[in-house]
Amino acid sequence: MEQYELVIIGGGPAGLAAAVAARQAGVRDILILERDRELGGILNQCIHNGFGLHTFREELTGPEYAQRFIRQVQDLEIPYKLGTMVLSLDKEKTITAMNPEDGLFQLRPKAVILAMGCRERPRGALNIPGTRPAGIYTAGTAQRLVNMEGYLPGRECVILGSGDIGLIMARRMTLEGAHVPVVAELMPYSGGLKRNIVQCLDDFGIPLKLSHTVVDIRGRERLEGVTLARVENGRPVPGTEEYYPCDTLLLSCGLIPENELTREAGAVINPVTNGPAVNDALETSIPGVFAAGNVLHVHDLVDYVSQEAAAAGRSAAQYIQQGEPALEAALPVRCYGGVRYTVPSAIRHQSLRSEDVTIRFRVDNVYQNKTIVLRAGSEIVLRRKKAVLAPGEMETVTWKAGALPEGITEIRLGLEEA
């Protein structure tokens, strides 16, 4: 069995940033395992611009952003294996993987960083009635076909779901000569960034129908059309049906962290994020197994993925260099008043004494003029006013911790009236 100090599962933005940070923190033996034919992950198919404003102070496309990190990985001579599928991970951190050169092999590193990213919610998980013809794709699959393989999936293209990939694909299909008559969104608000609504829909006159969904799919071999209807209280409203003839339906209906390996290893999963529950070191319930990026919770900005993954890389380095920290119960972080989840979901006592603690979270609805409040026991430790909060936009608070009153058993993060 080959020995490595640190194995990183996934060579996308999270895996790359984690590797660079771990090496910079002094970890010598690092190996990145990547399933695809190249490093960079999903960034390779995200050819649009808008990446890296926070990290590099310039607006890059996905492949350019990826290249910045790939270059660092190469300059730091961090080894990686492409075309490599990890089959299993266990509690003892044994990784079983395979690829065409090495065949089946096992690794037993001191620490593991999970950076497997996420997957799109497919039609099968959406309960859309109708026939099952060809021509129905997740938006990301269509994105890969157009941007990497050079195929156009169709000419008349309805999009269900207004997540960022759906919005980006509305523009992309239009530029490639297809017609996008409508983007339908089940919720009364878009799940995508505001800038994408402006420059992907408004620029091209593509209507966004909020509170609408697909209630029927027609076509035997190939998709012939879909029926949209307005939705109220979770139900289609009779009489509001509209038929759209089309040969393609793209689904942008949410992303799910890809945690088969994490579950199999026995790590505790947060039921809200579908990612592992982690403490502020981004360590899962299995000591020495860390997680970052979309495998942990779905991000809307890659810059935050890189930041989070770098923190995981530094935590893994500390774990490798200092060994298991003295066991100290962590304080749970609980949500209230519209906060849907927090990452981390627990904060270690030692961090509260010495470090700034970053908490990322999402809200469950659109809110206006609220105050984000962080409470330690009965004490308010942070307040921040926000004009608008929306489920599509991740929020971050950084808490300059320090001396805390005695006897605190939990931290609470919520929204209160401004």
Partner 1 sequence: MEKAQLICIGCPLGCALEAELENGSVVRVSGNTCKNGEKYARKELTNPTRIVTTTVRVTGGTIPVVSVKTAADIPKGQIFACVQALGAVEVPAPVALGQVVLPNVCGTGVDVIATKAVAKQE
Binding footprint of partner 1 on the chain (CB under 8 A): 44, 47-50, 53, 59-64, 67, 146-150, 175-176, 193-195, 197-199, 203, 300-301, 388, 393
Residue carrying structure tokens 């935590």: 315
**Is there a contact between 209 and 182 (Cβ–Cβ < 8 Å)?**
yes
Q: Which is nearer to partner 1, 62 or 414 (CB)?
A: 62
Q: Which is nearer to partner 1, 38 or 216 (CB)?
A: 38
In the complex, the smallest distance separating the C-beta of residue 64 from partner 1, rounded to whole angstroms, is: 5
Q: Which is nearer to partner 1, 48 or 93 (CB)?
A: 48
Q: Which is nearer to partner 1, 247 or 303 (CB)?
A: 303
Q: Which is nearer to partner 1, 250 or 317 (CB)?
A: 250
**Is there a contact between 319 and 371 (Cβ–Cβ < 8 Å)?**
no
**Is there a contact between 82 and 39 (Cβ–Cβ < 8 Å)?**
yes
Q: Which is nearer to partner 1, 329 or 387 (CB)?
A: 387
In the complex, the smallest distance separating the C-beta of residue 363 from partner 1, rounded to whole angstroms, is: 16
**Is there a contact between 89 and 108 (Cβ–Cβ < 8 Å)?**
no
**Is there a contact between 216 and 240 (Cβ–Cβ < 8 Å)?**
no
Tell me the two tokens of residue 70: 């790939």
Is beta strand 225-232 parallel, antiparallel or unpaired with respect to 235-236? antiparallel
In the complex, the smallest distance separating the C-beta of residue 165 from partner 1, rounded to whole angstroms, is: 14
Q: Which is nearer to partner 1, 47 or 268 (CB)?
A: 47
Distance from the Cα of residue 295 to its chain's centroid:
6
**Is there a contact between 369 and 387 (Cβ–Cβ < 8 Å)?**
yes
Q: Which is nearer to partner 1, 33 or 302 (CB)?
A: 302
In sequence order, the 6+-apart residues with CB closer than 8 A to the CB of 313 are 17, 18, 19, 20, 21, 22, 23, 24, 25, 27, 113, 292
Q: Give the whole-angstrom CA distance, residue 85 versus residue 272.
A: 27
Q: Which is nearer to partner 1, 197 or 339 (CB)?
A: 197
In the complex, the smallest distance separating the C-beta of residue 203 from partner 1, rounded to whole angstroms, is: 7
In the complex, the smallest distance separating the C-beta of residue 149 from partner 1, rounded to whole angstroms, is: 6
In the complex, the smallest distance separating the C-beta of residue 279 from partner 1, rounded to whole angstroms, is: 28
Q: Please report the beta strands in 233-345, taking only residues with DSSP state E, as ranges in sequence order.
A: 235-236, 242-245, 248-251, 255-257, 289-291, 330-336, 339-343
In the complex, the smallest distance separating the C-beta of residue 199 from partner 1, rounded to whole angstroms, is: 5
- Calculate the CA dihedral of residues 298, 303, 305, 311 and round it to 10 degrees: -150
In the complex, the smallest distance separating the C-beta of residue 358 from partner 1, rounded to whole angstroms, is: 18
In the complex, the smallest distance separating the C-beta of residue 175 from partner 1, rounded to whole angstroms, is: 5
Q: Which residue type does 99 have?
A: N
Residue carrying structure tokens 């935050």: 304
Is beta strand 411-417 parallel, antiparallel or unpaired with respect to 330-336? parallel
Q: Which is nearer to partner 1, 132 or 195 (CB)?
A: 195
Burial class (CB in 10 A: 0-12, 13-18, 19+), 374: buried
- Residue 228 CB neighbour total at 10 angstroms: 21
Burial class (CB in 10 A: 0-12, 13-18, 19+), 232: exposed
In the complex, the smallest distance separating the C-beta of residue 326 from partner 1, rounded to whole angstroms, is: 40
In the complex, the smallest distance separating the C-beta of residue 49 from partner 1, rounded to whole angstroms, is: 5
Q: Which is nearer to partner 1, 151 or 243 (CB)?
A: 151
Q: Give the whole-angstrom CA distance, residue 191 versus residue 3.
A: 43
